[in-house]
Amino acid sequence: MKINNSTFLITGGSAGIGKATAKMLVEKKGKVAITGRDKSKLEIVAREIGAFSIHADAAKQEDVEKTYDEFLKEFGKLDCLINNAGIGGGWSEITELDMKEFRDVYDVNVFGAAMMGSKAAQLFKEQNYGNIVNIASTAALKGFANGTIYASSKFALRGMTQCWQAELRKYNVRVILINPSEVTTAFGNSERVEGKEVSNKLRSEEIAHTIVSTLEMDNRGFIPEVTVWATNPF
């Protein structure tokens, strides 16, 4: 797709991968909206990078509706949804699993992404064109100790992505999964403070570059899944 003059909706866009991706798309003349739960931070970031802000929580059905209403009122059409909003948590051993922790993580990582994708798919089927990018994790490929809740949520997102690919290809809709390895962002930080850049770890910019590069392929083809590792994290 051509980034110039295309429209993009990025959930969780006020920090980390979402912010870096929004910034890169704006620099390429894309029309970008970002969502976030922290209204003040969201508006500051939107002004800083030249994006449109939508104060919304992807885990709430009413906010999903609000997001699309505000986006379409501002831009008129949607070319690409980037399902970036996600949280960690629930790092419990199997013997200590808690239902509330499951729901908290799944509300954002699975249910919120699904509802955002469902609304986008409705629009894309009508216009016979569109792009959905789901941001998962290398945890979607392999489980790990104490990762039952988080890893399973990313396995679910990977499974949903494959289902959407099967359903939407006949409508010229490209559905892409991105699996970042460890990235120095605010992910997992209760204060939402960005992590310090480390020379042997991935930055948000590497993932943003991957997202934008996959989207820039001509519309006749798409990359179903990409995994990004740090070259030498040891």
At 155, which amino acid appears? F
Mean pLDDT of 168-185: 95
- Confidence (pLDDT) at 189: 52
Number of domains within the chain: 1
1 located within any domain: no
φ, ψ (nearest 5 deg) of residue 155:
-60, -40
| Contact in structure between 64 and 115 (CB atoms under 8 Å) | yes
Neighbours of 218 (CB within 10 A): 8
Distance between CA atoms of 57 and 12, rounded to whole angstroms?
Answer: 9
Domain of residue 107, CATH code: 3.40.50.720
Range of the structural domain that residue 208 is part of: 7-228
47 located within any domain: yes
Band (206; pLDDT cuts 50, 70, 90): very high
Average pLDDT, the chain: 95
Per-residue pLDDT tens for 183-194? 986 555 555 566
pLDDT at position 96 over 80: yes
- Confidence (pLDDT) at 196: 82
- Confidence (pLDDT) at 195: 66
233 located within any domain: no
Percent of the chain's residues with pLDDT above 90: 91
Opening angle at CA 108, ends 192 and 215, nearest 5: 90
Mean pLDDT of 210-222: 98
SS (H, E, C) 79-147: CEEEECCCCCCCCCCHHHCCHHHHHHHHHHHHHHHHHHHHHHHHHHHHHCCEEEEEECCHHHCCCCCCC
